[in-house]
A and B are shown apart, each in its own frame.
Chain A
């Protein structure tokens, strides 16, 4: 008995003494949470988010911390994996808010996680910016939740207008994933606007498939036979190459257009020459970028060896928005609840913020008003700027 007691006492005291942080006072550190899908269905999106955030932190560290008012504060990133699952995103947000005391959260990127996670952020009165989520529910009736990108209705309109104005086409085909929220929403908007412009039967083929399908030949055969002048397919980088290649094999010669979900560098890597010359709407164009955008792309490419996609760029902008909001508050009180509300108010006030994905101003709902970019995949497989379309 005595031995056991002695042993525990020795263990405890040694643990306390050797703990390097023992008896050190707590400091006020500005913590920014990153809620990213590092594992799961879309790990590339998570990786881009993480890397963009790390570049941002590098800048802050080089400047010796974040200057708020007259004081420099140390900044720390809390990067959490949401496994591309809704409940995990909720857990990650709850953990970052209640345990890590983050001042603001960036992410989750996909709407499936951003909608429930936004509920958590709003409940605990913590600013959350989802850079990439396009579901209106993410920010709806949630004063503390913002987003960094335009919404689906705007994007569908941009594409319908662009195709009409650029090529003068009047009939179009749509191929989309019925089981996934984003493509379906965008396909519906596109159909609505196209039919408004060109009459009720101008969408000659409206075909769908289900997530994880890899053979689209039956749908594509119908589309080829329908005689549509253009194919619109708002799919992700893992499906676009398959769709494009199979369409070409079936004799499709007209243009194929897509949406910002094409923006990953993987699209061209997997698709190769088949995708050259196609158009999609996006948040920014990497090739031929100028100014701050180019600096960001060059730095990112140097550090991680590939050209950043729109997720990285939007995350970068979201972080800078948060940074500016924190600086605009003028003072960090150290009482986290109060500071969070101050950051939220400052963020809602920001006007004409010039980010690398364009100028933005938030609406009442926390959605930005910003321009869309039409990207053309050029002959080298790079995403070149083609046109900018503003609301």
Chain B
């Protein structure tokens, strides 16, 4: 315990920027020496892709090598660089504090993306995992608006995702690609990537309009009724697509162009987090919370409950549509059975695992379920025992999820931490 305290104290004055610099050092080391030197001398066949979990589970003999790799490449460089560059990082962070918050966040995000890009650049498998994880983050954040902030239990998210995926796919396939279903493109292919955001927006809008079909009849009621109506909606969408042979039916639709590289998806995810954060911390978001807690009381406080609920629902559906569009373009193939009850279970697991009413929680949930799902891949069947068990334990010990009812405080997160003495004073004051 004493050691941990000491350890904590040692690194307590490192700002987020400091940690980022440390991680950059680790990633650069992996990039230049990871394959030729470090993993070679440790007897690893390649750079361990997910911190060595895959190779450890598949071949226990590799555990020491993989652990050593993690320590040499990640742990030591991160701690060392972060510790050494502490003063410099705090000086920089202090400078950034004087900038407008938005600009400071943007600089940090660009820095973070650079690290992510270097880390993922080593292996396309990493890129794919990060892409799908980012899409899961959009999905989870958007479902959190409905199931968390609005307090309803909506099951139609896969349906919204399907609407978004199919709409944006149809737009890109009709306009920019010479494919089997729609024939020659209407516009030159070269402008496709530039107009891709509009295709995505089209998907989002289609999902939002689709959500009205659930919202209008069901928001006169609450609770279970919405769950059932939204579940029905999901099946309606799935069956409708299955029987629409013009868009491939059950056979699915493929041949999407590669319009969704990592930076695009990263930008959309950050945009989603920012917009949803502003939405839920606005007056409207507060109104949404009051509607969740007591509808009659909030009505008495002159909140238009019906409008509030429908708007929030459409907003959540919109982002699900965007996520669906990105998903379709990452896989370059969609079929209706992708947007079924399995997907619903996955989305709900991520939301309830991470935490209701919290964007941070959603991010944590999406990242951990995705990374766990990949890291435990070699266990095959046992994976489906371990992940549900973890979920059950989370539900028992933290019924609202890991991090619930917590908002991002960007200012606090990014601030310089060289005022060490002040921090101690604060603590004493408490």
Residues of A bordering B, CB below 8 Å: 1, 3-4, 8, 11-12, 15-16, 18-24, 26, 38-39, 80-81, 85-87, 90-92, 94-95, 97-101, 111-112, 115-116, 119, 124, 135, 137, 140, 178-181, 184-185, 210-211
Contact = CB atoms under 8 A, between A and B. Distances in A.
Contacts of B239: 179, 210
B411 interface: no
Contacts of B342: 85
A12 B251 contact: no
Interface in B162-191: 180
Nearest to B123: A98
A178 B250 contact: yes
Interface of B: 3, 7, 10, 40-46, 49, 54, 61-62, 64-65, 67-68, 71-72, 75-76, 123-125, 128-129, 132, 180, 238-239, 242-243, 249-252, 254, 327, 331-333, 335-338, 342, 374, 377, 380-381, 383-384
B155 to A, nearest CB: 17
A90 B124 CA distance: 12
Given A8-B76, A15-B65, A91-B132, 12 more contacts: A12-B76, A15-B68, A16-B42, A19-B43, A21-B65, A86-B338, A91-B125, A99-B54, A119-B254, A137-B254, A178-B250, A180-B250
A18 B62 CA distance: 10
A379 to B, nearest CB: 36
Contacts of A81: 377, 380
B68 A19 contact: yes
20 contacts: A4-B7, A15-B65, A20-B64, A21-B61, A21-B62, A23-B43, A26-B40, A39-B381, A86-B331, A86-B335, A87-B338, A95-B49, A98-B124, A99-B49, A101-B46, A116-B254, A119-B254, A124-B124, A179-B239, A181-B250
Contacts of A26: 40, 45
Nearest to B46: A99
B349 to A, nearest CB: 14
B123 A15 contact: no
Given A38-B380, A179-B239, A22 B42 contact: yes
Contacts of A1: 10
A135 B251 contact: yes
Top 5 nearest A-B pairs (CB, nearest first) are A21-B43, A15-B68, A116-B333, A19-B64, A19-B65
Contacts of A135: 251
Contacts of B54: 95, 99
B65 A22 contact: yes
A35 to B, nearest CB: 12
A95 B55 CA distance: 12
A264 B377 CA distance: 27
A247 to B, nearest CB: 24
B215 to A, nearest CB: 26
A15 B128 contact: no
B380 A39 contact: yes
Nearest to B132: A87
A94 B251 contact: no
Contact of A91 (B72, B128, B332): B128
B65 to A, nearest CB: 4
**By DSSP majority rule, is chain B's interface helix, strand, loop, or mixed?**
helix
B333 A94 contact: no
A38 B384 CA distance: 12
A16 B72 CA distance: 10
Contacts of A21: 42-44, 61-62, 65
B41 A23 contact: yes
A95 B125 contact: yes
B62 to A, nearest CB: 7
Contacts of A115: 252, 254, 333
A178 B251 contact: no
Contacts of A92: 377
Given A16-B42, A91-B374, A99-B125, A178 B243 contact: yes
Contacts of B61: 20-21
A19 B61 CA distance: 8
A91 B335 CA distance: 17
Given A21-B61, A101-B46, A184 B7 contact: no
A94 B331 contact: no
Given A19-B43, A98-B125, A210-B239, A185 B333 contact: no
B125 A90 contact: no
A11 B338 contact: no
Given A95-B49, A119-B254, A8 B71 contact: yes
B156 to A, nearest CB: 19
Name, among B54, B61, B65, the residue most crowded by chain A CB atoms within 10 Å (CB to CB). Answer: B65
Contacts of B254: 115-116, 119, 137
Contacts of A87: 132, 327, 331, 338
A115 B256 CA distance: 12
